[in-house]
Structure 1
Amino acid sequence: MRYDASFIGLYILDVLGRPVSRIPDRGNVEFIDEIRLTVAGTAGGTVIDAAKLGLKALAVGAVGDDEKADFVLMTLEKFGVETAAMQRISGVPTSASILNVRPNGDRPALHVRGASDHFDVADADYDRVLDAPIVHLGGTGLLSRLDGQRSVNLLAEARRRGRTTTLDLLAANASTAHLVLPLLAHVDYFMPSIEEAQDISGRLGPEACAEFYLGHGASACVFTLGGDGAYFAHRDGTRVRSPAYAIDVVDTTGCGDAFDAGFITALHRKMDLETSLRFAQASAALVATGLGSDAGIRSFEHTMETMRNLPVKG
């Protein structure tokens, strides 16, 4: 196979500013410390972090025909991501968000759905987009054309070909359940945030959520718990909690995407479960120390060093 992992789904341009304590009245101006443009989304942010961690990564998604698309494609290529499977759709804008990052790291967002709602994977493209042992689908609920049976077919075909499949969401809630639950029978690792997991399932806590999703067919659940770390549950009965690292949070944008990239990298390198969770946690911790979904992560070696040396929360 040509790639280590294929990252299919949501690609977004993020415009971030920090720290934003308030929006100025009328036409007034507030001065902030930093503004950045980054490639984000549950596929876009993840593929860049995975490439920085050393994976040969394939990007599969859509952009529009605007200046934002130019930036997204240029940035993917800058980090060595293969963009041949990216679709450029005329007449629509590239999906984009404006994030006002608060001093505590919270990030209220304004979002234009754009090209990702027009993205689909044709059956004829399966050979190209599934040309990797690991296939990540990111952004269910914000992929109007691909969501539903098209995603079921895609993941089922990936599993039929022997691929390891991972699934993550963005801004999912109870109304997304009808899109998510049919996918789980074809998912090896379901990796939402605990907030999304709770909102979709109506259950509280990682243990109850895991039982719900495993009962609906997922092979394993890996929930990110924010400052409480991560929780892993497998249908074979394995249950593991991994504590968060002790860091000074700058911005939590993209931490879930970085966790996904770290975990996928660990799968690629065949790390044991506990090391995989620690490595994914270290990836997320690094991103939280800077602004944007690609902050902090430098390389596989630097992330390994961080995993070994950064203190965990007591």
Structure 2
Amino acid sequence: MRYDVSIIGLYILDVLGRPVTKIPDRGNVEFIDEIRLTVAGTAGGTVVDAAKLGLKCLAVGAVGDDEKADFVIATLQKFGIDASAMQRLKGIPTSATILNVRPNGDRPALHVRGASDHFEVAPETYDQVFDAPIVHLGGTGLLKKLDGEPSRILLQEAKKRGRTVTFDLIAASAETIKIVAPLLPFIDYFMPSIEEAKDMSGQGSPEDCAKFYLDQGATCCVFTLGAEGAFYAHQDGTRLKVPAYDINVVDTTGCGDAFDAGFITALHRKMDPEQSVRFAQAAAALVATGLGSDAGIVSFEDTLAQMKKWRVKS
């Protein structure tokens, strides 16, 4: 196969500034320490981090025909990612977010939906899109044209071709379960945050949330629990709660995307479940130590070294 992973879905340009304590009145100016541009989104952030972790990646998504698209494509190519499956849509802006990162790491956002609302995967592209043993769909909930039945058809085809499917979403609510539930039988690793898992299922604990999704067909649930770590539940009966690393958090933007990239890398490297979760947490923790969705991640070897060096929370 040409790629280690094919990463499909939400591609965004993030404009981040920190630390932001207030928005200035009238036309006044507040001075901050740092501004960055990054490729982000539940697919974009994941593919950049996966490439930095050493995987050969295909990016599958959509951008507009503006200057933001130029930056997104150039950045993907800079990290050695194959961007030939990225669609450039005329007359539509690239999806983008302005993030005002507070001193405590919170990040209120202003978002333009843009090209990701118009993205779809045509059957004639399947041979390239599925030319990887792992297929990740990221961004369900903000993929207006792909959400729902088109995503079910896409993931069904991935499983028909024998691919391992990983999945994450964004901006989930109680209503989102309507578009997620039909996908679950085709998902090997279902990886939302615990807040999203609770909102969609109506359940109160990681264990109960996992039972809800496993009963509907998912093979494995891997929930990020923020400062509490992560929870892993497989159809084979394996249950793991892995504590978070003890780090100084700068910005939580893209931590979930980095977790996805770390877990996908662990699957590629054939790590066992506990090592896979720990490695994914290390990737997420590195991102949390800097500004933006790819901050902190240098390489697979560096992430592995950090994983072994950091203490976990007691």
The TM tier, using the shorter chain, reads over 0.9
- Find the counterpart in structure 2 of residue 280 from structure 1: 280
Q: Give 1:22's aligned residue.
A: 22
Residue 129 of structure 1 corresponds to which residue in structure 2? 129
Structure 1 residue 174 displacement after superposition = 1.1
In the alignment, the residues of structure 1 paired with residue 182 and residue 26 of structure 2 have an alpha-carbon distance, to the nearest angstrom, of 47
Q: In structure 1, how many angstroms separate the alpha carbons of the residues matched to 2:116 and 2:130?
A: 19
Are positions 1:193 and 2:193 aligned together?
yes
Counterpart in 2 of 1:75?
Answer: 75
After TM superposition, the structure 1 = structure 2 runs for residues 1-314 of structure 1, keeping only pairs within 5 Å, are: 1-314=1-314
Query: Residue 202 of structure 1: CA displacement?
Result: 1.0
* Moved >6 Å (runs of 4+): none
The secondary structure found in structure 1 opposite 2:68 is helix
Deviations for 1:178-216, whole angstroms, at most 9, x for unmatched residues?
A: 111110000000000011111111111211110111111
- Classify the secondary structure of the residue corresponding to 1:258: helix
TM-score w.r.t. length of structure 2: 0.99
CA distance in 1, matches of 2:130, 2:172: 25
Distance in structure 1 (CA, Å) of the matches to 2:19 and 2:302: 27
Deviates further, 59-68 or 236-245: 236-245
Shift of 1:228: 0.4
Give how far 1:161 is off. 0.6
CA distance in 2, matches of 1:118, 1:4: 26
Q: In structure 1, what is the Cα distance between the partners aligned to 2:54 and 2:260?
A: 14
Within 1, Cα distance between the matches of 2:290 and 2:105? Answer: 10
Task: Indicate the SS of the match to 1:120.
Answer: coil
In the alignment, the residues of structure 2 paired with residue 174 and residue 35 of structure 1 have an alpha-carbon distance, to the nearest angstrom, of 34
Q: Matches of 1:260 and 1:235 in 2, distance apart?
A: 20
Structure 1 residue 27, shift from structure 2 partner: 1.2
Looking at structure 2, the residues matched to 236 and 305 of structure 1 have their Cα atoms a distance apart, in angstroms, of 30
RMSD: 0.5
Q: Secondary structure at the match of 1:279?
A: helix
Mapped to 1, the partners of 2:104 and 2:148 lie a distance apart of: 36
Identity of matched residues, %: 75
The offset of 1:123, in angstroms, is 1.1
Shift of 1:138: 0.2
- 1:235 Cα offset (Å): 1.3
1:107 CA displacement: 0.5
Q: Which runs of 5+ in 1 are unaligned?
A: none
Structure 2's unaligned 5+ residue stretches are: none
Report SS of the residue matched to 2:77: helix
C-alpha separation in 1, matches of 2:28 and 2:190: 44
* Structure 1 counterpart SS, 2:185: helix
Q: Which moved more, 1:198-207 or 1:31-40?
A: 198-207
User: Which AA in structure 1 matches 2:193?
Assistant: S
How many angstroms does 1:176 deviate by? 1.1
> How many residues end up aligned between the 2 structures?
314
Return the offset for 1:68.
0.2
1:177 CA displacement: 1.1
Cα distance, 1:88 vs structure 2: 0.2
Q: Distance in 2 between matches of 1:176 and 1:141?
A: 7
Give the structure-1-normalised TM-score: 0.99
1:38 match: secondary structure: strand
Deviation at 1:128, TM superposition (A): 0.8
Paired with 1:306 and 1:277, the residues of 2 have a C-alpha distance of 14
1:96-127: CA deviations, max 9, x gaps? Answer: 00000011101110100000000000111111
